[in-house]
Chain A
C-alpha cells in the first residue's frame, strides 16, 4: 500500500499542478478567484514556513514585504505610468533590497527577540505610509495599470509564483543551504561549530522569502486593485500564515498546501467578520499546537511512515 502511494506521488503531484494550471480553461470566474487566492496564500505561507518551520526564525515581518511591494506597484503604475509587469519586477527588487536592509538589524540578537524585531518594520512602515501625502495618507490608492491586464494573466502569474514557491522551497531544503538551515534550527551553536555560516545562511533564506512574498503581495494587490496601509501592513497577514502553516503542519513542505486550501475555504465564510475570524484563526492555531503540534500533514506522514515531498535527500 505504502509502496503504491510512494510510487504514485509524482504522477499525483503532476496531476494537481495540471489541474491548477488549467483552471481558467474549465473553471468559472469564482473558481479562478478561489485558486488565485490559494496560490497567493500558498506562496506566502510556504515562505513563512521556510523561515519559521525550517530555519527557526519566527518572523512577523512578512507584511512589510507585502505592503512594500503593493505600494511599489501602486506608485509605479499611478505616478510613473509603468506597466504592470515592470512594476511587478520592481516590487520584487525592492522587497529584496528592503530585506537586505532589515538583515542589518534583525540577526544581531538572540532567537527570542528576532520575532518582535521583525514586527517593528511593518508597524513603522504602516505609520510612515499613513502619514505620507505622496501615498494619499491612510485613504489608500487605486492600482490601475496601463495597459490593463486580464484576470487570466494575473492568475497565471499567481500560479507560477505559487508553484514556484513550493518548488524553490523543495530545492533549497535539499541543497546544502537547506541542510545548514535545518541544522541551525535544531541547534545553532552546534551548527556553527560544525562550520555552518549561520549569518550568511539566514540572510540567504530571508532574501528568498522576501522575494517570493513580495511578488505574491504585488500580484495580490494588482488583482484586488486597491491598497490601504492599514490592511497592507496588517499583522493579520501573519496570523493567517501562522494558521495556514500550523494547521497544515509546520516544518513540512506539504503543510502550507493543505493549510492554504483550508484557509481559502474558510475565509469565504469569515470575510465579513474580521474580529471573529481573527479570534477563530488564533484559537485554532493555539489548539493545534497544544493538541497535535505536527498539524494535519505531519500527523498523516507519521501514520504512513514517509514524506510526499521530503526535505531530506534519499
Chain B
C-alpha cells in the first residue's frame, strides 16, 4: 500500500493538467457539436511555438504564457472561422474530416520543421521535489500543473457565468436557433469559442512542455487523454472535468505502476472503454 501512495499523489496532481488538456475539447464538443480532432496537435503546436519563442529570446518558459496563449486565441479563431464554420451544416462528416486533416497536416509540418527529436521547455523545476514524508515527495512541476490547471478551470467558469460572450456561447450551445433569434451570431460565437478553447490548449501545451518531453506526433496521445477525460466527465460539467482528469491520471499511473510504463496509455484507454460500456453519458454528464 505504501508504494501506491506516490502514484496516487502524482495522479491527483497530474489530473489538474489533464483537466486543462480536456476542457477545450469538451467545450467545443458541447458548443459546436464537433469532435475537434486537431485539438491535441494544436496543443503541441503551442508547445513548439513556445519553444521557439523561449529559445529565440532566451527567456524563461513562463513568459510564453503571456505571448503564446493570446496568439493561440487567434489561431483557434481563424481555424474555426475559415475552415470548420464553412463546412458546418446538415452533414456530420465534413467538419470531422477537416479537423482530422488539419491535425495530420500540423503533425507532419512539425515533423518536417523540428525533426522527430524529443523537446522540452526547461524551467529548472524538473527535478525539484518537496518531501512530505521520507518516501512521499511532491514533484514541484506537477504541483505547478495542478495549480495552474485549477486556475484555468476557475477562470473559464467565471467567464461562462459572468460575461456577455460567455453567456452567448452557452446560449448557442443550449439552443442554436433560439440564440440566433435573440440576435446572437452563432458562427462568430463558435469562432470565439474555438479561440478560447485553443487558449486552454496552449496553456496545456506549455505545461506539458515544461513537465514532459514532446514530439511532433504526441498530439494524438493528448487528444485521447482529452477525449477520455471528456467522456468520463460527461459534457457540461467543469467540476466533473476536473475530477475526471484525476480519475484518468490515477488510472494511467496505476497501469504504468503495475504493468510497466509501456502500458500506461493502454490502461487509460481501457478505463475509457469501461466507462463507455457502463455509463455512456459520463459520470457527471448533464446532457
Contacts and interface: CB of A to CB of B under 8 A. Distances in A.
Contacts, number: 114
B100 A242 contact: yes
A123 B269 contact: yes
Interface of A: 52-53, 56, 58, 60, 104-105, 108-109, 111-113, 115-117, 119-120, 123-124, 127-128, 130-131, 235, 238-239, 242, 246, 250, 274-276, 278-279, 281-283, 285-286, 289-290, 293
B156 interface: no
A116 B227 contact: yes
Contact of B93 (A52, A128, A239, A276): A52
B100 A60 contact: yes
- Chain B interface size, as a band, is 35 or more
Given A242-B100, A282-B102, 20 more contacts: A58-B97, A112-B35, A113-B231, A115-B37, A116-B35, A116-B223, A123-B220, A130-B262, A131-B263, A239-B101, A239-B104, A250-B93, A275-B112, A278-B107, A279-B104, A279-B108, A279-B112, A282-B104, A290-B87, A290-B98
Contacts of B112: 275-276, 279
Interface of B: 29, 33-35, 37, 83, 86-87, 92-94, 96-98, 100-102, 104-105, 107-109, 111-112, 220, 223-224, 227, 231, 260, 262-263, 265-266, 269-270, 272-273, 276-277, 280
Nearest to B25: A116
A109 to B, nearest CB: 5
A60 B224 CA distance: 13
Please indicate which of the listed interface residues B87, B93, B272, B276 has the most CB atoms of chain A within 10 Å of its own CB.
B93
Query: Sorted from nearest, which 7 A-B pairs have the closest CB atoms?
Result: A275-B108, A131-B262, A282-B101, A282-B104, A108-B280, A282-B105, A278-B108
B92 A56 contact: yes
Given A116-B37, A128-B266, A131-B262, A242 B87 contact: no
A283 B109 CA distance: 12
Given A123-B220, A131-B263, A112 B33 contact: yes
A124 B272 CA distance: 12
